[in-house]
Each structure stands twice: as C-alpha cells, then as structure tokens.
Amino acid sequence: MRRSAGCSWREIRQEVQPRAMSRQGRCRQRLGWLKVGLLFLGVVLAAWGIYEIVYAWETDRTAVTAAVHSDPVCGLEPFVTDGVLTQQWVEGVINLPRNATLMSLDLGALRDRLLAHGQVRGVVLTRNFPDKLGVAIQERTPVARVQAADASGRPQQLLVAKDGVVYEGIHSDLPMLSTLPFLDGIKLVRAGTGFRPIEGMDIVSDLLATAQLQAPHLYRSWQVVSLARLKENGEIMVRSKEIPVVLFSRKDDFFRQLSRLDFVMDAMRRLPDPAIKTVNLTLGSQVPLTPERPPPELLQLQPTMSNQTKGKRAL
C-alpha cells in the first residue's frame, strides 16, 4: 500500500526537552520513572519468589508437604517386576517408617536402597496419591554361577548377570540355577557389601546365550566356563561332561564355532574310542583334537608328531 504524500502530524516528535517542560510535566515524568522502577522491582520480586519456591521444592521436600494432601502410606501399589522378587522382599528392603506420608518420602534414597541389591537393575517409584507407593522393578537375569566365600569364610553360591554384576540370587528358581555353568578363572574383588562386576562377562554371556539358543544339547553338558585366558589370548575355555576342554575364540563368530563343535562331536561319536581330551576351536576351520588315549599305531609310526596334528588327521 502506498503512503500518502506529505507527513502527517503524527510524525511530529512529541518529546520536549526537560528544560522546556513545566513543573507538572517534570512531576509526571518522575512519577513515570517511579512507575517503571516499581514495575522493575515487581518483576525482580516475582522472579525471586519463583526461584525461592523452585529451590524449596527441589531441596526441602518437607516444606511443601503441607501443600499436598497425602495420608500415611498403606502399601505398594502397583507393584510390578519382570523377575522373581516379591512385594514382601521389597517392603523389607525399603522399610517405610510408620505413618510416613507420600510427600515425606525421599524417593531417591528408597531407590538407592533397592539398587544396592545386585539383582535389581532398575527401579521406578511413583507417588500414587493419597496413600500408595508405586514400585516397578527391572531384575537382572543370571547367566552363570560363581562359588565364593562369604564374610565368615563359608562357601556361598552367587549368580552372575550378563553385565558382569555378581549378586546373591533371591527367590531364584533352583532347578533353573542348576543348569547354569560355573565361572572359573576369575578374581572376585570386594566392593562395599558386594563385588566388582566381572570384566569380559558380556563376551561370555554372548557365547552362553548363543549356545543356549542354537545348540541347547551342547550347552546342557557345560559345567564350567573359564575366563582365565580371555584377557590375554581372547579364548574362553569350557569344560563339559563329554569333553574336558573346549576352547572358543572371541575373534570368531560363536555360532560358527559351535557348529564346528557339533560336527566334531558327531564325528567323535562314530569313532571306536570317542574319548577326546581337548577341542580347540580357536584356529578357524581347522579344529585340532586331543584324544584321551592316542592310538598305539599312530604313536609308533610318527613318534614326533604333535597331538594336535594327530587330531587333525583324525578328522
């Protein structure tokens, strides 16, 4: 839109120099400044008030308790877990004070109390007004067992999760636990009331999970899994009921190694004397075997040949 030519009176500057201003004008101007000052002060006070409320909310929870109606907590509801822990156990751990109201509870501290147990991987606590505390727990799943001595020196069976956390299994299913292999070749280091997580458990749990899923008939016979050579050689040693030593390499795909082991086991069963001492799966497609008792004719023909070469020939 075009503008009208020639300026309008509205474009005339209305400001007047203070010297040309009347006494009333100066008085009005001061009042204007006062208004602005009061407005600024109001804004500052409002901001300060908001800051104080937020600070009180975040730091002093009891200060705002009275603002919310809440009765003494009378139970955990809803209680949800993806594992085996029971509501009674959780109640025992968090140990709510009598007549405690929802707003007086320090949910952070309660959460830390539950997380101190290795079996608990994650916790969400919610206030369900007026008087219920909601608990949702995620539990760790054991992948192996480990034998350790407790504080008094008595032997104690602990569980190891996929992330290497060692914990005392609470309300665990004993028949299921008996299927888990024991860990060997590890050093349990105490940290507080528990132990430090075991390094390399992610690789071991990968092997165990693959075996459990893809070759359950092999996994069932596994008794001990040793991590002794894992750090230096990248090898996991498994002791099963049928073969005393099976060596897996972390560098190769576990599924492929398991399939080779399966093939070896099948071939071994067809031998007249199936007793094998060692199966080494760390060399790729070549799988050296060490028989318990080498055939006497082979020993006579090639007395200098290594056990491994013999095993390869046998295949």
Give me the least distance between CB of 27 and another protein, in Å please: 8
Residue matched to tokens 């070759």: 215
Give me the least distance between CB of 48 and another protein, in Å please: 20
* CB closer to another protein, 36 vs 115: 36
Question: For residues 201 and 206, what is the distance between their CA atoms, to the nearest angstrom?
Answer: 8
Give me the least distance between CB of 28 and another protein, in Å please: 4
* CB closer to another protein, 8 vs 152: 8
Helix axes 87-94, 107-115, angle to 10 degrees: 120
* CB closer to another protein, 33 vs 51: 33
Between the alpha carbon of residue 143 and those of residues 148, 164, 169, 171, 238, the distances in Å are 16, 9, 12, 16, 14
* CB closer to another protein, 8 vs 178: 8
Question: For residues 192 and 40, what is the distance between their CA atoms, to the nearest angstrom?
Answer: 54
Give me the least distance between CB of 44 and another protein, in Å please: 15
Residues that bind another protein (CB under 8 A): 1-2, 4-9, 11-16, 20-29, 32-33, 35-36, 39
Cα dihedral 204/209/211/216 (nearest 10): 140
* CB closer to another protein, 34 vs 299: 34
Give me the least distance between CB of 19 and another protein, in Å please: 10
Residue matched to tokens 């120099």: 17
Question: For residues 134 and 129, what is the distance between their CA atoms, to the nearest angstrom?
Answer: 10
